[in-house]
């Protein structure tokens, strides 16, 4: 992949990074706000059990989302480093070039479509 293209993907990655970081922040602040509301629940607010259950379900869901996004963030960082080193766009498993259309959709992907599919089957 030539330098100009790598620069373009790097910009794409940086944008994605900003977006995901923002999402993580808002997911985390959402769940900590809920936690505070729940903690203050005994002093005044009466919670229905079902509400509490669904609240804590939501909080867990948010935190799971956040940790998932953190994984993506990590992959984005790795991909950014690769654009700098010049080995961006290569499959980490088989070493073949990753399809550029695929990179445009998921710029932080580490695997080509074939390896990705194999991996998904193994899971
Ligand atoms: Zn591959």
The pLDDT score that the predictor gives to residue 40 is 62
Residue 101 lies in a domain: no
Tokens for 27, please give them: 């997911």
Q: Are 83 and 7 in contact (CB under 8 A)?
A: yes
The pLDDT score that the predictor gives to residue 49 is 61
Residue 69 lies in a domain: yes
Query: Ligand 1 centre and the CA of 117: distance in Å?
Result: 9
Query: Ligand 1 centre and the CA of 89: distance in Å?
Result: 11
Query: Ligand 1 centre and the CA of 97: distance in Å?
Result: 8
Structurally, the chain folds into a number of domains equal to 1
Tens of pLDDT along 37-70? 766 655 445 556 666 667 788 888 888 888 999 9
Tokens for 117, please give them: 């599919």
Query: Ligand 1 centre and the CA of 14: distance in Å?
Result: 24
Residue 122 lies in a domain: no
Query: Ligand 1 centre and the CA of 110: distance in Å?
Result: 9
The pLDDT score that the predictor gives to residue 23 is 94
The pLDDT score that the predictor gives to residue 41 is 54
- Pick 35 or 5 by higher pLDDT: 5
**CATH code assigned at 42:** 1.20.120.910
Residue 102 lies in a domain: no
Query: Ligand 1 centre and the CA of 15: distance in Å?
Result: 25
Q: Which domain holds residue 52?
A: 3-87
Residue 99 lies in a domain: no
The Cα 70–Cα 30 span in angstroms is 16
Residue in the block written with tokens 């935190």: 63
The pLDDT score that the predictor gives to residue 62 is 86
Residue 32 lies in a domain: yes
| Average pLDDT of the chain to the nearest whole number | 88
Q: Are 76 and 108 in contact (CB under 8 A)?
A: yes
Tokens for 20, please give them: 């995901």
The pLDDT score that the predictor gives to residue 50 is 64
């Amino acid at each position: 992949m030539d330098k100009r293209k790598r620069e373009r993907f790097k910009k794409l990655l940086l944008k994605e990074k900003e977006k995901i970081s923002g999402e993580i922040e808002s997911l985390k602040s959402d769940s900590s706000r809920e936690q505070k509301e729940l903690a203050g629940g005994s002093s005044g607010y009466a919670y229905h059990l079902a509400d509490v259950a669904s609240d804590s379900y939501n909080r867990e869901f948010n935190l799971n989302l956040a940790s998932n996004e953190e994984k993506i963030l990590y992959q984005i960082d790795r991909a950014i480093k690769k654009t700098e080193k010049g080995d961006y766009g290569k499959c980490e498993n088989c070493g073949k070039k990753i399809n550029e259309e695929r990179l445009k959709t998921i710029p932080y992907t580490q695997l080509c479509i074939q390896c990705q599919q194999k991996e998904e089957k193994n899971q």
